[in-house]
Amino acid sequence: MSLNLDIKKSFKQLSDHNPVMVQRFGADPYAMVYGGRVYVYMTLDDPAQELDENGEVKENSYSMIDKISVISSDDLVNWTDHGTVYAAGEQGAANWGKNSWAPAAAWKNIDGKDRFFLYFANSGNGIAVLSADSPVGPFTDPIGGPLVSRDTPTCAEVTWLFDPAVLMDEDGSSYIYFGGGVPSEDKAWDPGTARVAKLGADMISLEGDPRPIENVSYLFEDSGINKIGGRYFYSYCSNFSMSKEAEEEKGFEQGEIVTMVSGDPMGPFEMAAPVLKNPGHFFGLGGNNHHCMFEFGGGYYIAYHSRILEESMGLLKGYRCTGIDRLELDGDSAPAKSVMTRKGAEQVKALDPYKETKAVTMSNATGIATRQFGETAEKYGSGDMIVTDIHSGSWVSVSGADFVDAGAKGIEVRVKSVDADADSDAEGGSVSGRIGSAGQNGLSGKIHICLDSPEAEPVCSVIIGTCIVEELTEITGSFDRAVTGKHDVYFVFEGEGFEFYSWKFLS
């Protein structure tokens, strides 16, 4: 028997993997692979910070951005929400800066310990660096000021001192690429505003002065760097001053991601191939084009942003979301033309449903929010998270769970009641709103476990009783029949007043 609930619709189709995150917006994606997972760091576009006097969402001005979203996955489809790094502004680690645009991330073993570094732009005026002992933080500011500023040699004349990318080479050396902007109309064909510098062994200093990257044709913004097949590929977004004649001559369009190639990480670079047209070419809604190419699980992928999430919401105010698709390589192992799709990347491995999985690991969701969970995450913005703002008909899902032949006979969930002050802790930027009234006693609900559709007959309904407290509580449910094979799993909620922390199926 199907559920007697008004099942909410997601902002993306059940079969689509893009955007990779629907509970928040995320722009300017940058991927870092570590420990068998890919971590994606994104500029947090937050409509809640861009309201007019009537409380209506304004056009995205980018001027309020001071947080960086973090998600990770080991299969490119199910993404764990790690919250938002409080990067800049009064609450941020780099509180000397106002903004946190276009992050880049890298890790390095230093003195026998893996360390993690998060680089971002203070609007168009310099590059900051934060460090941590974990890919998800807590991140702190190790130098108390900019890594790159207009006082840095060769950088005063860079129009937009932003959009960093980092290369970790096999010999242990590391490099940072940044810059962009068009100084004047007559410089559009060769702005001269791209820079590369060698990073110090500590990853928080420069070893020598930055060098101009020469002959970057029609540069706009968005530095990228990859080493593929022994060659270094610098990539960028072309500017919007190209004539039709220039597009035909150069072989790429305005607002397109273009590559250059070199045998040396600091150049000189020569023009190579365009790899990704503007989002407007694929989805009809254009804008700036920002990318990151990365290798994962034996394949190459490209992350980018578009406006398909806000389009589904009916917002159309310039708030961006991240997608990931396969990156095509040509016969010489060079990046070639790729596409943006709603379908997205294929799942590279099955999900193990018998391991405890955080409820904020999702392939899709609707009608929920996430918030920081625990003192560390609440202080620094990133870390442990919990699903909140639960209402009847809302749900979260994971894709490609393999129950194998033996099958699952039950499930264990960890839940808690809503804290009385949880509404003040709801994760900023949620596209589904914030918690309303909280701390109500006597409320109960259910988590319905449905396979392959949120409207399917549940295999089990876990009753969230009135005995749950503000600490995590384990509740189990049994199945009438074993669940076998591979399925998408939907956790459909009924009632409210509780939060969802984790789950695991029982064999």
Residue 496: CATH number of its domain = 2.60.120.260
| 337 located within any domain | no
Single-letter amino acid, residue 78: N
> 247, 270 in Cβ contact below 8 A?
no
Instruction: Please check whether residues 102 and 241 belong to one and the same domain.
Output: yes
Nearest in space to 31 (alpha carbons), one of 85, 103, 80, 93 = 103
Mean pLDDT of 369-373: 98
What residue numbers bound the domain in which 502 lies? 357-506
Nearest in space to 100 (alpha carbons), one of 45, 39, 137, 157 = 45
| 434 located within any domain | yes
Instruction: Please check whether residues 144 and 48 belong to one and the same domain.
Output: yes
pLDDT digits (tens, 9 = 90+) for 228-270: 999 999 999 999 999 999 999 999 999 999 999 999 999 999 9
Mean pLDDT of 417-441: 46
The residue among 326, 342, 368 that closes a domain is: 326
Mean pLDDT of 357-379: 98
Ramachandran quadrant class, 103 (left: phi over 0; alpha: psi -120 to 50; beta: rest):
beta
| 6 located within any domain | no
Instruction: Please check whether residues 43 and 82 belong to one and the same domain.
Output: yes
pLDDT at 425: 44
Average pLDDT of the chain to the nearest whole number: 94
Spatial strand order in the sheet of 364-366: 364-366, 395-402, 486-495, 445-451, 460-464
Q: Which of 221, 256, 310, 427 is catalytic?
A: 221
Instruction: Please check whether residues 295 and 436 belong to one and the same domain.
Output: no
pLDDT digits (tens, 9 = 90+) for 482-506: 999 999 999 999 999 999 999 999 9
pLDDT at 160: 98
Mean pLDDT of 50-65: 96
For the chain, state the CA radius of gyration: 23
| 224 located within any domain | yes
Instruction: Please check whether residues 304 and 385 belong to one and the same domain.
Output: no
Instruction: Please check whether residues 361 and 322 belong to one and the same domain.
Output: no
Checking if the pLDDT of 399 tops 90, the result is yes
Residue 189: CATH number of its domain = 2.115.10.20
Instruction: Please check whether residues 36 and 158 belong to one and the same domain.
Output: yes
Most confidently modeled range among 318-327, 424-433, 442-451? 318-327
pLDDT digits (tens, 9 = 90+) for 155-173: 999 999 999 999 999 999 9
DSSP assignment, residue 59? P
Residues 6+ apart with CB under 8 A from 228: 295, 300, 329, 333, 334, 335
**How many structural domains does the chain have?**
2
| 306 located within any domain | yes
Checking if the pLDDT of 438 tops 60, the result is no
Instruction: Tell me the β-bridge partners of 117.
Output: 106, 131
Instruction: Please check whether residues 305 and 365 belong to one and the same domain.
Output: no
Instruction: Please check whether residues 145 and 194 belong to one and the same domain.
Output: yes
Binning pLDDT at 50, 70 and 90, where does residue 2 land?
Answer: low
- Cα–Cα distance, 31 to 35 (Å, whole number): 13
Q: Is 221 a catalytic residue?
A: yes
pLDDT at 115: 98
Instruction: Please check whether residues 205 and 269 belong to one and the same domain.
Output: yes
pLDDT at 216: 98
The residue among 307, 326, 345 that closes a domain is: 326
Instruction: Please check whether residues 285 and 387 belong to one and the same domain.
Output: no
Mean pLDDT of 207-229: 98
Instruction: Please check whether residues 188 and 295 belong to one and the same domain.
Output: yes
| 500 located within any domain | yes
Q: Which helix (H) or strand (E) holds 247?
A: helix 244-250
| 183 located within any domain | yes
Residues 6+ apart with CB under 8 A from 308: 12, 18, 19, 283, 285, 321, 323, 342
pLDDT over 70 percentage in the chain: 94
> 17, 363 in Cβ contact below 8 A?
yes
Nearest in space to 173 (alpha carbons), one of 199, 142, 210, 195 = 199
Checking if the pLDDT of 213 tops 60, the result is yes
Mean pLDDT of 420-425: 48
> 108, 171 in Cβ contact below 8 A?
no
pLDDT at 178: 98
| 2 located within any domain | no
pLDDT at 467: 62
Mean pLDDT of 79-89: 98
Terminal CA-CA length for the chain: 24
> Which range among 103-112, 460-469, 475-484 shows the weakest confidence by mean pLDDT?
460-469
Mean pLDDT of 89-99: 97
